[in-house]
A and B are shown apart, each in its own frame.
Chain A
Amino acid sequence: MNADDALVEAVEDLVHDVAKYMVFEVRFGGAALAGDAFAEAVRSDVCETRRSMNREGERVTETAWQLWERMLPSALQEHPIARTVDARMKELPAVEWGNPSTDWQAVAALAQMTSDGIRELLVSLRGS
């Protein structure tokens, strides 16, 4: 496997683990989601993007931005699309997640744009 292939695979993992799951429950619920349920789905998608169990059997969660930071190959940190995604990711921790009057539609749109950016990065790498 050459370096380019490895980068593509790394971004495929990002698509699988981050891009997909950071908009997962909102898409799953679809139009039926409203009010508190919608807010909870957005929060769950972004703040518990990965929900699993560690080797000690304890439940662990990771946010979308934590996963992004952990999984983005250093070789891609200066890639223009990655920088755009990174900027969007950095907006997410600043969201007032506990505030009911937060504009959840706007947060969901930001999550969707961030997710789309990761997919765009993959397309760009495959095409290059």
Chain B
Amino acid sequence: MATILVIDDQDRTIDLCRGSMPEHEWHGPARSWASAQNAMGDLSRSIDMVLLDVHFDIPSSELLGVSADATDADVRRAKRGQGFRILERLRAAKPNLPVVLMTAQDGVGMEAAAEQFGAAEYTYFLDHEDIDAHSLRGQVEGILRRRIGVSVDGPIFWGRSPVMRSIRARLETFSRGRLPVMLLGPTGSGKSLIARHFVHRKSRRKGKFVAVDLSTLPADLVAAHLFGSVRGAYTGSVSDRSGAFEDAHEGTLFIDEVANLSDEAQKMLLAVLQERTVTRVGDTRERPVDVKLVVATNEDLGDLVARGRFRGDLYMRLNPASAITLPGWLTAG
């Protein structure tokens, strides 16, 4: 996720940006240089990028470059090139901040004016007349990658540190393989986001992503939820139901808080991993499943094994050698 400030006298662009790129934090629109300054001062996080309109239809008192004795023509000209004036101030305040100028190729002599007003390496041009969701996303993500060196995978912000690069690279490798992926880390470290937006995507599997949080399920329903059940398997089971494993066939199954599994459910999970088939609760029929399994916990599974609270054979099947510990600050929102 990146923090992006939109400086624009209209709401249309930011409304569309928020709708089409919800993974980023959008601020604005700041409708003048003064409100842009306020916005930048108010933000606790630094801004990663600015989208800047060129034409501002705002009162002359809020325009940069308009003197007290300005004629109507002067005001009109100031409105039409206000974005360049704002760019000039931005460059003085933040020389390396990526700024995307949103204007029409058919408007003022954009390149020349940009040069005149100090546009440099970190200034980009976007033909606002011809923009669509796909090209805007491409431009935004491209700049974030190239200029500030961050990796963005949906809502995941990897940052630039060697540690995070290493984690991302390892995860990418493990995501493509057949073995389970184990994510360790404190609550809020982004395990669920990683599973959904990184592992599932990088695995390139064609099935669905299915998530099960064991901390929210009654213990006696966990097995039926994961493996499915047949009618009458338990009180209230009025029909045959598939479980999460079947639902995630050819896709990814994310089991959060895997340490909460009961002994019986651990045994059933082990059987699924060994046989690559699932048997619904109360049934005898084995159904083949092909699932990329991602498990997560904030507990020390090795310690639970040592204390006899988690099966050692299941622990080994969950591929602890590939366990990835996420720092608490991986996700930025």
Residue positions of A touching B, CB distance < 8 A: 1, 6, 9, 12-13, 15-17, 20-21, 24-25, 27-30, 32, 50-53, 55, 59
Q: Are A21 and B59 in contact (CB under 8 A)?
A: no
Q: Is the interface of A mostly helix, strand, loop or mixed?
A: helix
Q: Are A20 and B73 in contact (CB under 8 A)?
A: no
B9 at the interface (CB under 8 A from A): yes
Q: Are A51 and B12 in contact (CB under 8 A)?
A: yes
Q: Are B107 and A28 in contact (CB under 8 A)?
A: no
- Cβ contacts under 8 Å, A32 to chain B: 133
- Cβ contacts under 8 Å, A55 to chain B: 59
Closest to B72 in A: A6
Q: Are B107 and A20 in contact (CB under 8 A)?
A: no
Residue positions of B touching A, CB distance < 8 A: 9-12, 15-16, 20, 31, 55, 57, 59, 73, 76, 80, 104, 106-107, 128-134, 136
A27, B128: Cα distance in complex, Å: 11
Q: Are A20 and B134 in contact (CB under 8 A)?
A: no
Q: Are B132 and A30 in contact (CB under 8 A)?
A: yes
Q: Are A52 and B10 in contact (CB under 8 A)?
A: yes
Q: Are B16 and A28 in contact (CB under 8 A)?
A: yes
Q: Are B80 and A12 in contact (CB under 8 A)?
A: yes
Closest to A54 in B: B59
Q: Are A21 and B16 in contact (CB under 8 A)?
A: no
Q: Are A21 and B107 in contact (CB under 8 A)?
A: no
- Cβ contacts under 8 Å, A59 to chain B: 11
* Cross-chain pairs A/B with CB under 8 angstroms, 12 sampled: A13-B57, A13-B80, A21-B10, A24-B16, A27-B130, A28-B136, A29-B133, A30-B133, A32-B133, A51-B10, A51-B11, A52-B57
Q: Are A20 and B132 in contact (CB under 8 A)?
A: no
- Cβ contacts under 8 Å, B11 to chain A: 51-53, 59
Q: Are A16 and B31 in contact (CB under 8 A)?
A: no
- Cβ contacts under 8 Å, A6 to chain B: 73
Q: Are A16 and B104 in contact (CB under 8 A)?
A: yes
- Cβ contacts under 8 Å, A51 to chain B: 10-12, 15
Q: Are B131 and A28 in contact (CB under 8 A)?
A: yes
Q: Are A27 and B80 in contact (CB under 8 A)?
A: no
Least CB distance from A73 to B in Å reads 12
A16, B127: Cα distance in complex, Å: 12
Q: Are B80 and A52 in contact (CB under 8 A)?
A: no
Closest to B134 in A: A30
Interface centre among A1, A28, A51 (most CB of B within 10 A): A28
Q: Are A20 and B76 in contact (CB under 8 A)?
A: no
A69, B197: Cα distance in complex, Å: 48
A24, B128: Cα distance in complex, Å: 9
Closest to A19 in B: B129
Closest to B14 in A: A51
A28, B132: Cα distance in complex, Å: 4
Least CB distance from B9 to A in Å reads 6
Contact of B12 among A1, A24, A29 (CB under 8 A): A24
Contact of A25 among B9, B10, B16, B73 (CB under 8 A): B16
Q: Are A20 and B104 in contact (CB under 8 A)?
A: yes
Closest to A5 in B: B73
With known contacts A29-B133, A30-B132, A17–B73 Cβ distance under 8 A: no
A80, B279: Cα distance in complex, Å: 76
Least CB distance from A84 to B in Å reads 20
Closest to B59 in A: A55
A9, B78: Cα distance in complex, Å: 12
- Cβ contacts under 8 Å, A12 to chain B: 80, 107
- Cβ contacts under 8 Å, B107 to chain A: 12, 16
- Cβ contacts under 8 Å, B136 to chain A: 28
Instruction: With A29-B133, A55-B59 given, name 13 new contacts (CB 8 A).
Output: A9-B80, A12-B107, A13-B55, A13-B57, A21-B10, A25-B12, A28-B136, A29-B132, A30-B133, A51-B15, A52-B10, A52-B11, A53-B11
- Cβ contacts under 8 Å, B128 to chain A: 20
Contact of A20 among B15, B31, B129 (CB under 8 A): B129
